[in-house]
Structure 1
Amino acid sequence: MTYQEAIDYLNSFINYEKKRTKKYNSELYNLEEFRNIAEKFDNPQNDIKTIHVAGSKGKGSTVEYISNILIENGFKVGTFTSPHLYDVKERIRINKEQINKSDFAKITRKISETIDRENIKKRYRTFFELITLMSFLYFKKNNVDYAVYEVGLGGRLDTTNIIKPEVSVITLIDLEHTNLLGNTLKKIAYEKAGIIKENIPVVISKQKRKDVANYFTKISQRRKALLFLYGRDFKVVKDRFILENGKQIGPIKLKMEGAHQLVNAVTALQATRVLNVDMDVNRSISALINTKIKGRIDIRRIRKRIVILDTGHTPESIKVLFEVLQKKYEKFTSRNVFSIISFSSGKKIKKMLEYESRFNTRMIFTENSSFRSATIKEMEKFISPFKSFKKLEKAFSFAMEKSRENDIILIHGSFYLMNDVNKVLGEYGEKL
């Protein structure tokens, strides 16, 4: 099996990242079926020490922070994330190196032989399940010391939830995927709490509402999971970390922009401390400081313009983005800011556009190549843009042409936009 044949095989399965579903239940997201498949491969997930991370905001950053802390302290670390920006191999990494095409094809072939022999495909299996299974097999084969797993959707019914982690982590909960997970914070918290397991420690990050933190506390007590709670056991005070033993570390200046990243970083540090293995705190802090994630308030210089990329796609994310920009750039609201925007359909588009309109940006609407993309017409229902272009290439060319030296070009609104961004940046000698 070649790499392309492996990709084609995986793409022959249902992919809920590309196909909308209105249902979120144990029939479509069937963990028992997935456990049965994993069992046919001798349950490779049980031979790996794992860390499990769920949440609405910050889970991707927290996963990277945890992985980098462990790598910096000399451990061999697998990392599993989703979705990918532009290459599926990004999802499965060991010590920051993506799985290579040869291993990807070999493991897919191994999976396909079992699935085809057992006639499993007819039982509604998914692309995400097979990629998750591939990560189990790859990490086991390579004898990783730890593997850090990012939940794909929710938590309770997520494919990753068959692992038995050393520690579970839940980051900030917000209203997201409300058509599937529920339209209240309580319902979403219920889904996220599904990763809290009997007698396994759990780290709960900062929450917007006290009742959410209280709910996680109650579930942790019920499941006899040792709880480390933000604000009680660890926290950020200005630019310093306060840990569960009262130890203060700082000041901390991260490469990742925004005060929220300090919260993600201290949450990651607390999670690694729960592992109770020998680690050097200075190495851990160095790992946090030097972590940088593509597409997260990602600031570039292109032809003397300041180009800022951000995958944030919720009202809270937009608010954080503009808070960072106001602090970073003097007189931000009076600067020339060309804002190229593409949202996913069904998001709180009106709320996000109304918030951004306060900052007098020159909004340029575009669409991304994902089926999830909101149309220009959808966005124009709420606000009249400075300009609209169907394709990002034309939107970016327009912004470059109309902007001057030191003007800001902001490209934001969707994770799925970044695949298109990568192609556009390539024309300017840049890449994500």
Structure 2
Amino acid sequence: MSAHSPHKFTTLAQAYAALDARLNVETSRQGAADVAGLKSAFQLERMRALMAALGNPHESVATVHVAGSKGKGSVCGMTASMLHGCGYAVGLYTSPHMIELRERVQVNGQWVSSEDFTDVLWRVMGAADKLPAGLGACTHFELVTALALVYFAEQAVDFAVIETGMGGLLDATNVIVPRVSAITAIQGEHRQFLGSTLEEIAAHKAGIIKQGVPAVVLPQSSESVTEVFRATAERVDAPLTVVGVGNDFSLRLEASVELGAHHKVNFKGQVLYLEHVTVPLKGEHQALNCGLVLSIADELVRQGYDLPPAPMTAGLSATPRAGRLEVVHLEPRIVVDGAHNPESLRETIKALRQHMKYDSLWVVFGCAIDKEVDGMLTALASGADKVVFTRAEGNARAMDPKLLGKRYVELVGKPLHVEECVRDAMNRAAKMIQTADLILVTGSFAVAGEAKRLLAQKKQAARVEVKGSPGRVPR
């Protein structure tokens, strides 16, 4: 049994405090000595028992399940916007968050309210505390996932688009049986949990492919990874479509006065045919992700759902850019992006070059210690003119910025700056840039989110003049 208070918490702060007392893999150190204990967090039997204790509310909701190493949040966002554009009530569950935990649970683009979050979490934790002791205590992620599934059922959504947390096979979200399973690009990540090779990582992601449920996947960097998906799909008799192989898909980069540089895609699937669809997010990688979204739509239409082309593309165009080359400040120009692996960072820098004009690129960078650090630093050096290394506040996984700087010098020999917190790193960059320069804050959603929160606080506060630099972030 956990230490769940018998007295109902009534405020959001109390709800957050109750969650913070639970094991949270996202913010826990993940060194070799820590991993064995953290692996106990991945117990799908416990999550199934919790959902059964809550009455299995997820079984009443049609879902789309998305896994992958990069782009899965973008695919979820585009899918939810597309479905909402067609008139459906749509729940969206993603992680991590940028601003606040409630951001992870949305209906029709609106965060779950503080009152509903508090009320549903209380009921979820009450059910969790009555589970057999042998199952162990529910984790932070399991409780929030259960909250989302309960909330979506109670809001009577038509669809819920669900992003996995880590992997897929043992992920807490894998209690659902979706209408479609989708897998984005696979990269090296979480090797201490998912395996040392891309094929082993892919096997965990493939765990969301269910018996008889259609699956759509992006083409992968290695055919051996795609073969993992094919073998899994064949084993569970799930129809599998690889974008651009099982359907016709093409993309191109063009420019217009209204949109500037942007990508358009053409798609022809089993029943869906669309031409010249404008990709709502910037970058070639997002055009590929859009192809996966259209493949999801094609499968839903084949199953009988009504997705007329005009409202579908209008819904796509309304996709929020949160944390995806999102411009969060104009003077100085500051862009945040949650790129957190080498390939994502390369794609982000490539997209910046295609879509934004600037003289020098200043990058405020911080990442988790368990990431592919050398690969990220090498990708960073390919586009950054100046770098300020930092770390997210209160995150045990954050790598020491001094160590990042030391390794950066060893790898690429370029000059750099180090600041212990995101606020000071942004102030450093803001003081030193020229008018035509650009600041990119990236390396993790934690760092990008902290920058966005700081700037939001600045906008909300009365104009505070910071002597010597109006672009600085106030203390």
Residue 236 of structure 1 contacts residue 262 of structure 1 at CA under 8 Å; is this kept in 2? no
Residue 211 of structure 2 contacts residue 238 of structure 2 at CA under 8 Å; is this kept in 1? yes
Q: What residue number does 2:346 align with?
A: 319
Distance 2:46 2:269 in 1: 39
Distance 2:184 2:311 in 1: 23
Of 391, 396, 400, the match for 1:367 = 391
Residue 254 of structure 1 contacts residue 290 of structure 1 at CA under 8 Å; is this kept in 2? no
Q: What residue number does 1:269 align with?
A: 294
Residue 156 of structure 1 contacts residue 191 of structure 1 at CA under 8 Å; is this kept in 2? yes
Q: What residue number does 1:113 align with?
A: 126
- Number of residue pairs the alignment of both structures matches: 427
Q: Which moved more, 1:415-424 or 1:136-145?
A: 415-424
* In the alignment, structure 1 residue 307 sits paired with structure 2 residue 331: no
Distance 1:122 1:348 in 2: 33
Q: TM-score, normalised by structure 1?
A: 0.93
User: Secondary structure of the residue that 2:440 maps to in structure 1?
Assistant: strand
User: Secondary structure of the residue that 1:50 maps to in structure 2?
Assistant: strand
Q: In 2 relative to 1, CA 427–6 (structure 1 residues): closer, same or farther, beyond 3 Å?
A: closer
- Per the TM alignment, residue 75 of structure 1 is displaced from its structure 2 partner at its CA by 0.5
User: Secondary structure of the residue that 1:364 maps to in structure 2?
Assistant: strand
Share of identical aligned residues, percent?
28
Distance 2:460 2:374 in 1: 32
- Per the TM alignment, residue 358 of structure 1 is displaced from its structure 2 partner at its CA by 3.5
Q: In 2 relative to 1, CA 255–306 (structure 1 residues): closer, same or farther, beyond 3 Å?
A: farther
- Per the TM alignment, residue 271 of structure 1 is displaced from its structure 2 partner at its CA by 0.7
Residue 367 of structure 1 contacts residue 373 of structure 1 at CA under 8 Å; is this kept in 2? yes
Q: In 2 relative to 1, CA 195–24 (structure 1 residues): closer, same or farther, beyond 3 Å?
A: farther
Q: In 2 relative to 1, CA 246–127 (structure 1 residues): closer, same or farther, beyond 3 Å?
A: closer
Residue 47 of structure 1 contacts residue 140 of structure 1 at CA under 8 Å; is this kept in 2? yes
Q: How does 1:83-162 map to 2 (within 5 A)?
A: 83-118=96-131, 123-162=136-175
Q: What residue number does 2:422 align with?
A: 392
Q: What residue number does 1:350 align with?
A: 374
Instruction: Return 5+ residue gaps in structure 2 as ranges.
Output: 1-8, 253-263, 410-414, 462-475
Q: What residue number does 1:278 align with?
A: 306
* In the alignment, structure 1 residue 76 sits paired with structure 2 residue 89: yes
Q: In 2 relative to 1, CA 368–130 (structure 1 residues): closer, same or farther, beyond 3 Å?
A: same
Q: What residue number does 2:66 align with?
A: 53
Residue 23 of structure 2 contacts residue 41 of structure 2 at CA under 8 Å; is this kept in 1? no
Of 239, 250, 271, the match for 1:236 = 250
Of 188, 197, 202, the match for 2:215 = 202
Deviations 1:119-162 (A, max 9, x none): 65982321111111111211111111111110011000001101
Residue 206 of structure 1 contacts residue 231 of structure 1 at CA under 8 Å; is this kept in 2? yes
Distance 1:396 1:271 in 2: 39
Residue 70 of structure 1 contacts residue 77 of structure 1 at CA under 8 Å; is this kept in 2? yes
Instruction: Return 5+ residue gaps in structure 1 as ranges.
Output: none
What is the one-letter code of the residue matched to 1:429? K
Distance 2:122 2:214 in 1: 36
- Per the TM alignment, residue 251 of structure 1 is displaced from its structure 2 partner at its CA by 2.5
Of 5, 20, 35, the match for 1:11 = 20
Q: Which moved more, 1:380-389 or 1:137-146?
A: 380-389
Root-mean-square deviation (Å):
2.2
Of 380, 396, 408, the match for 2:405 = 380
- Per the TM alignment, residue 208 of structure 1 is displaced from its structure 2 partner at its CA by 1.3
Distance 1:157 1:345 in 2: 23
Distance 1:403 1:25 in 2: 42
Distance 2:350 2:222 in 1: 21
Distance 2:110 2:283 in 1: 27
Distance 1:299 1:28 in 2: 36
Distance 1:427 1:144 in 2: 33
Distance 2:124 2:272 in 1: 47
Residue 128 of structure 2 contacts residue 138 of structure 2 at CA under 8 Å; is this kept in 1? no
Q: In 2 relative to 1, CA 161–117 (structure 1 residues): closer, same or farther, beyond 3 Å?
A: closer
* In the alignment, structure 1 residue 38 sits paired with structure 2 residue 62: no
Q: TM-score, normalised by structure 2?
A: 0.85
Distance 2:86 2:345 in 1: 34
* In the alignment, structure 1 residue 338 sits paired with structure 2 residue 362: yes
Distance 2:360 2:420 in 1: 23
- Per the TM alignment, residue 25 of structure 1 is displaced from its structure 2 partner at its CA by 8.9
Of 439, 447, 463, the match for 1:409 = 439
- Per the TM alignment, residue 374 of structure 1 is displaced from its structure 2 partner at its CA by 1.0
What is the one-letter code of the residue matched to 1:153? M
User: Secondary structure of the residue that 1:109 maps to in structure 2?
Assistant: helix
